[in-house]
Amino acid sequence: MERRKYQLLCTFATRETYLSTARSIQVSFELPHKKIFVYENEKERNEIIYTYNINRCINDKFLDNTILVHRNKDTNTIYTINALNFLIMDINNGILDKSLRICWENYENILLLTNKDELKKIKINLKDVLEINQIKLEN
Give the pLDDT confidence of 63-97 residue by residue, as tens digits. 999 999 999 999 999 999 999 999 999 999 989 99
Q: Considering the domain boundaries, does residue 44 fall inside one?
A: yes
Angle, CA of 59, 135 and 61, to the nearest 5°? 10
- Does 139 reside within a domain? no
> Cβ distance 47 to 14 under 8 Å?
yes
Is residue 41 included in any domain, yes or no? yes
* Contact between 96 and 125 (Cβ < 8 Å): no
Residue 127, in any domain of the structure: yes
Domain count, the chain: 1
Residue 29 lies in a domain: yes
Within-domain flag for 1: no
Which CA distances in Å does 68 have to 63, 92, 100, 103, 139? 11, 25, 23, 22, 29
The residue among 42, 48, 43 whose CA lies nearest residue 11 is 48
What range does the domain containing 94 cover? 6-134
Is the pTM higher than 0.75? The answer reads yes
